[in-house]
Amino acid sequence: MAETAIELGDEGHVGVLGLRLVAQGEDWAELVFDYDPRLAMSVGSGIIASGPIISLIDTASGAAIIARNKKFRPMATLDLRIDYMRTAVPGRSLTARATCYRITRNVAFVRCEAHDGDPDDPVACAMASFFFTAD
C-alpha cells in the first residue's frame, strides 16, 4: 500500500506550537517545534514547560498511527504515559519520533521519544494508546 502523506494543518496546538512533520515512514512519524521563550516555565530559566512537550508527543503519536493505517481515522488519546529523563536545553528545537507498533480493531499502541538534538539522549519517553472513535 502506498505511503499516505500526513497533513498536520495549522489549527489548535499544532499552529500555536508551530509543529511540523519532518519525516515519516511505514509506521512512524517525526515532528518538531522550534524553541520559543513564550513556552518556557519561567522567563529566567528558559526551560520549556511540560505542556508543549506533551502536545508534541501526543501529536507525533497520532501521526504515527495515520502512517501505519495509511489513512486518517478519528481517534482520542486513551492513555499517555510520559517519563521525563531530563529538562530540554533552552534554545533548542524539540523533536519527537513516534512508532505505532500495534493496531487492533478499536485501539492503536504507540511508543515515542522526544529529544533536543541527540536521539540517544532523550528528554522524554512515552507509551500511549488511542481509541478509534469512528471508522
pLDDT along the chain (135 residues), means of 10: 65 84 96 93 90 96 96 95 96 97 97 97 98 91
Check residue 63 and give its pLDDT.
96
Check residue 1 and give its pLDDT.
45
CATH number at residue 17: 3.10.129.10
Q: Which domain holds residue 96?
A: 12-132
Q: Sign of the CA dihedral 32, 35, 39, 44?
A: positive
Q: Per DSSP, what are the bridge partners of residue 129?
A: 79, 109
Domain assignment present for 1: no
Domain assignment present for 119: yes
* Residue 87 identity (one-letter amino acid): T
3-state secondary structure of 117: coil
Check residue 126 and give its pLDDT.
98
Domain assignment present for 120: yes
The model carries a pTM of 0.93
Whether the CB-CB separation of 24 and 98 falls below 8 Å is answered with no
Say which residue the cell 534554545 belongs to: 91
Check residue 44 and give its pLDDT.
87
Domain assignment present for 54: yes
Domain assignment present for 115: yes
Whether the CB-CB separation of 14 and 60 falls below 8 Å is answered with no
Domain assignment present for 6: no
Q: What's the total number of domains in the chain?
A: 1
| Separation between Cα atoms, residue 97 and residue 64, nearest integer Å | 8
Check residue 95 and give its pLDDT.
98
Check residue 96 and give its pLDDT.
98
Domain assignment present for 76: yes
Check residue 66 and give its pLDDT.
95
